[in-house]
Amino acid sequence: MEITLDKKSNNEGLVKIKLTEADYQPRVEAKIKDYGKKVNIKGFRPGKAPASMIKKMYGTSVLVEEINDILSKTLNDYIKTNDIQILGEPLPDMEASKRIDWDNQKEFEFAYQIGFVGDLKIELNDKIKATAYEIELDDKAVEDTIANLRSQYGDTSNPEVSEEGDFIFGELVSEDGSTKKTTSLPLEKMDGRVQKKFIGVKKDDTIEFEPAKAFKKGESAEDILNLTAEESQAFATGKATFTVKNINRTSEAELNQDFFDKIFGKDAVDSLEGFKAKVKDVLTSNYNKEAASFSNEKIKEAIVSKMKIDLPDEFLKKWLVAANENKFSAEQVAAEYDQYATQLRWSIIANEIAKNNSIKVEHEDVVEATKNMIREQLAASGLGAQLEANMDAFVDNYLKGENGDNYMKTLNQVQSEKVLAVAKEQITVKTEKVSPDKLREIAAN
């Protein structure tokens, strides 16, 4: 057997494997002999069919099977022994394979195209600059959230006469009568002049208005009235009538202990000041999770932009098409390739940072990360303290889920967090406090 690597560039090459009869024949003969003991052939007792017949019937398929097994093991061992950090998977020369004469050839040569990481030098220093974002909430954001919570947990009623802020349920009919729609009108979203028409109405009253001009700027009649495309066309112009069937009103929940307990659990807070502080803490925490995720991606981008990592682009595009079993065309892969390449470059950098800093993830790290995730989920439901005693069972069930994929997903997440923590210590990260709206604006650009 002979195996060689013909480097075409710093990150791409051709692995060639030559096999002689001595490399595969003993395995082929042993497999055929084993077949002879097991197969049943009409006219012969089990295990008594002539070896020549067995070879004629199964020889070629056994040869192909054994050679493929030899090639797979040989290629993997070669890559591992020579510490080649391959990208994607080796691509066999399919055209050459089609020319093989399995019935008559005694010697074979196979070629595999591989892409790999070339010379790599990762240097993190304070010249690499990135920004991490931290959410800062104002009092209005807290008050708006409390107002929404009071509305969600408020009492509902069906008054006889409508007031500002009510929802009016009824039947909408186009001007020519050809289109009817049972829907609900939220008065707070209606234009002030039109809204007045619907205040002080009662069941069975009919109001005439123009749906297309009925709502505040930025609001869509199609969305608010839940219209189909055909219905939207019918109500796009002209007047319509709306007959009231019911009036729905939600009164805000009172800011009392019962309300506080519904939101945060029994006696978690015991005053309005404590409630507002808790709302702010929870909001800030939730927003900062999003901010941290966005910041980490920007930090990765900053590091990747300063590292020169040449990828075997054409090989990887070819491999992506093959690996996805032709689910994506070459054109589709090319359109998404830049994003994939950025992620791949970070993966290469992260592996190098982990190796250079002896970063390892232990089983205990995975378990602890899973516990923290479950605690957050339970806390959100208000059941954290009660279910803590069953934490080990929750963790075990989760990590065994999805055929072990949950375990690997958590392990990779922990490794990524450890790598980023090391990277942040070595580069310059400036923290900028922003509002949620400002962060969304930054993320959109």
Q: What percent of the chain has pLDDT over 90?
A: 74
pLDDT of residue 121 exceeding 90, the answer is no
pLDDT tens, position by position, 295-325: 999 999 999 999 989 999 999 999 999 888 8
pLDDT of residue 385 exceeding 60, the answer is no
Maximum CA extent, the chain: 100
Residue 55: the pLDDT is 83
pLDDT tens, position by position, 16-57: 999 999 999 999 999 888 877 777 777 777 777 777 888 888
- More confident position, 222 or 327: 222
For 373, phi then psi, to 5°, come to: -65, -45
Q: How many CA atoms lie within 13 A of 232 on its CB side?
A: 9
Give me the residues paired with residue 91 across strands. 113
Enter the tokens of residue 253: 């929940």
Task: Check: CB of residue 167 under 8 Å from CB of residue 185.
Answer: yes
Query: Where do the H-state alpha helices sit in 311-428?
Result: 313-323, 330-356, 363-381, 384-387, 391-400, 405-426
Helix (H, G, I), strand (E, B) or coil at 62: helix
DSSP letter (8 states) at residue 84: -
Task: Check: CB of residue 313 under 8 Å from CB of residue 341.
Answer: yes
Residue 69: the pLDDT is 95
Secondary structure element (H or E) that encloses residue 182, with its range: strand 180-186
pLDDT of residue 382 exceeding 60, the answer is no
Instruction: Give me the mean pLDDT over the 136-146 stretch.
Output: 93
Whose CA is closest to 116, among 78, 157, 164, 167? 78
Give me the amino acid identity at 138: D
Residue length of the chain: 445
pLDDT of residue 383 exceeding 70, the answer is no
Give me the residues paired with residue 182 across strands. 171
Banded pLDDT at 76 (limits 50, 70, 90): very high
Could you give the CA distance from residue 318 to residue 370 in angstroms, rounded to a whole number? 37
Work out the number of other CB atoms within 10 angstroms of the CB of residue 394: 18
Residue 87: the pLDDT is 94
Whose CA is closest to 345, among 9, 8, 11? 11
Instruction: Give me the mean pLDDT over the 330-340 stretch.
Output: 92
Residue 56: the pLDDT is 83
Whose CA is closest to 418, among 301, 302, 296? 296
Could you give the CA distance from residue 299 to residue 128 in angstroms, rounded to a whole number? 9
pLDDT tens, position by position, 283-297: 999 999 999 999 999
pLDDT tens, position by position, 189-228: 999 999 999 999 999 999 999 999 999 998 999 999 999 9
CA triple 129-134-135, angle to 5 deg: 150
- CATH class for the domain made up of 129-139+270-444: mainly alpha
Give whole-number Cα distances, 434 to 158, 223, 288, 372, in Å.
42, 31, 10, 27
Tell me the domain boundaries of the chain. Answer: 2-116, 129-139+270-444, 155-251
Task: Check: CB of residue 155 under 8 Å from CB of residue 253.
Answer: yes
Q: Which fold has domain 2-116?
A: Alpha-Beta Plaits (3.30.70)
DSSP letter (8 states) at residue 403: G
Could you give the CA distance from residue 224 to residue 183 in angstroms, rounded to a whole number? 9
Instruction: Give me the mean pLDDT over the 108-129 stretch.
Output: 92
pLDDT of residue 133 exceeding 90, the answer is yes
Residue 390: the pLDDT is 83
Banded pLDDT at 386 (limits 50, 70, 90): low
Do the two domains 2-116 and 129-139+270-444 of this chain adopt the same fold? no
Instruction: Give me the mean pLDDT over the 348-354 stretch.
Output: 93
Whose CA is closest to 386, among 265, 261, 263? 265
pLDDT tens, position by position, 147-190: 999 988 998 999 999 999 999 999 999 999 999 999 999 999 99
Mean pLDDT of the chain: 91
pLDDT of residue 126 exceeding 80, the answer is yes
pLDDT tens, position by position, 57-71: 888 999 999 999 999
Residue 396: the pLDDT is 92
Query: Where do the H-state alpha helices sit in 186-264?
Result: 192-195, 221-224, 229-234, 257-264
**Out of 202-211, 226-235, 377-386, which region has the weakest mean confidence (pLDDT)?**
377-386
Banded pLDDT at 347 (limits 50, 70, 90): very high
Q: Which fold has domain 155-251?
A: Chitinase A; domain 3 (3.10.50)
Whose CA is closest to 294, among 134, 411, 417, 413? 134
